[in-house]
Amino acid sequence: MMRTRPLKVALLGCGVVGSEVARIMTTHADDLTARIGAPVELAGVAVRRPDRVREGIAPELVTTDATALVKRGDIDVVVEVIGGIEPARSLITTAFEHGASVVSANKALLAQDGAALHAAAEEHGRDLYYEAAVAGAIPLIRPLRESLAGDKINRVMGIVNGTTNFILDKMDSTGAGYQEALDEATALGYAEADPTADVEGFDAAAKAAILAGISFHTRVRLDDVYREGMTEVTAADFASAKEMGCTIKLLAICERAEDGASVTARVHPAMIPLSHPLASVRGAYNAVFVESDAAGQLMFYGPGAGGSPTASAVLGDLVAVCRNRLSGTTGPGESAYAALPVSPMGDVVTRYHISLDVADKPGVLAQVATVFAEHGVSIDTVRQSGKDGEASLVVVTHRASDAALTGTVEALRKLDTVRGVASIMRVEGE
C-alpha cells in the first residue's frame, strides 16, 4: 500500500553533484515514489552562497544554516555532498542524533572517520550509505558488502580516479609528456585548477581505504594506505612499458596476504599487461577488478565522476535508505569483525621494472646482477643499450618484497658504474 505522507530529504551542498540530485528528485518524482512506496520531498537545501540562482529549486528551501536543517527532527534522510572533513562530520553525526539516516559521497571523511560514523549510525538506529564515495556511478560498494558478503575477497585492484586515467591514457596514445596531458585534461574540465589530490594519489588512497575495509572486514584508514603519485611518469616509461607489452595506470590495490593473516592497501603507478582488462580502460573512465574465492574474477566499469553519474549513485542509495525507513529496518553497517593487521608497504610482494643509467663498459651487468642477488631479488629479464661510454640498463625482476627492492636500489646507487636510477615501476596484473 502506497504511503501518502512524503519522506523528507535535506540536501547539504548544491554544487555539480547536489544540483543533479535535486534535478533528478524533481524530474523522476513519480518513478521514485513508485519504487520507494512513498513520495520523497526535498525539504531543504544548505548552501554557502544563497544568492546564486538554482534552477528548479524553490528559493524558500535554500538556507545557509546547515546545522538547523539537520536538527529539524522531521527530516528522514540527509544527503551530504559538500565534501571535506568539517563541517561534514559534525553535520552527519548531528543528523543521526536527530533521527535522520545519511547518504554521503564524502570519500575523504569516510576514509578518515568511517568507523566513528558507522558507530554513530548504529547507536541511533539509522543508515549510513555511501555508494557515490567510490567510482561515481559504478555499483561497487553495495556488491562488495552485500552481493559478495558470502564470499572471500582476496584482491581488489582498480582505476578509481578519472583525471589520472585520462592523463595517462593521453600519454600512452599520443606520446605526450605529463604536463602536456595535464594541460589538456584541465582545458577539458577533467582536472581541477589544483590537481594535487588527483595526481598525487590522495583521492585514490581514500577510495582504497574504503574498499579495503569493506572487502576484508577490517578497519582501514587513510593513514594505512601507501600512496605514490604519478607526476614522475614519463614518456620514456611508456616506451619501456610498450616494449614489455604493457601500459601504465595509477592503480588502487587492496590485497589479502597469501596466508590470510594481514592485508595491504596501496596506490601507485604500475605497468599492467595489455591483456589485462584494466589496460583497455580509456579516457576518464574507472574500472575495478575484484578477485574472490567463489565468484572468481569480476570487473566493474563505468564513468567514475561527474555530476550525473555521481548523482545516480546518490539516488540509488536514497531509494534504498527510504525503503528501509518505511519498513523500519536498516541496511548493512560496518563489518570489521576480522580486524586484520594492515601490513606496511615494505611487506608487499610484486614485480619491478628498473631503468638504470650506467657506464658502457665491461663488467657493469655482472656488478648489477650481483647486487640483486645479494638482496635476494631474482632477475627475470635484462636489456642493455648504449654508446659513447653511456648506457641504459633495464631490469625486470621476478616477485620481490618492496623492502628487498628498496635495499637493492640503495646498493645500486653506491656503485661507481651506476650513474643514476632513471625510474622504478611496479608491474601488476600478472
Q: Which among 207, 249, 361, 387 is annotated as catalytic?
A: 207
Dihedral sign computed on CA atoms, order 318, 321, 322, 323: positive
CA–CA gap between residue 74 and residue 72 (Å, rounded) = 6
Strands (E), 238-348: 246-256, 263-273, 285-292, 296-303
207 is catalytic: yes
CA–CA gap between residue 10 and residue 81 (Å, rounded) = 11
- Closest to 289 measured CA to CA, from 147, 154, 136, 198: 154
Name the CA dihedral angle for 42, 47, 52, 57, rounded to a multiple of 10 degrees: 0
Please list, in sequence order, all residues whose beta carbon lies within 8 angstroms of the beta carbon of residue 167, skipping any fewer than 6 positions away.
178, 181, 182, 185, 191, 199, 230
Name the CA dihedral angle for 7, 131, 80, 285, rounded to a multiple of 10 degrees: -130
Query: Which amino acid appears at position 402 of this protein?
Result: D
Question: How deeply is 366 buried, as exposed, middle or buried, from its count of CB atoms within 10 A (0-12, 13-18, 19+)?
Answer: exposed
Three-state DSSP state, 273 = strand
**Residues 326, 77 contacting (CB under 8 angstroms):** no
Please list, in sequence order, all residues whose beta carbon lies within 8 angstroms of the beta carbon of residue 389, skipping any fewer than 6 positions away.
359, 360, 361
CA–CA gap between residue 158 and residue 278 (Å, rounded) = 7
Number of H helices, E strands in the chain: 14, 17
- Closest to 406 measured CA to CA, from 376, 365, 366: 376
**Residues 198, 316 contacting (CB under 8 angstroms):** no
Task: Specify the DSSP element, H or E, that contains 427.
Answer: strand 418-427
| Beta strand 7-12 pairing with 40-46 | parallel
Q: Point out the residues that are catalytic.
A: 207
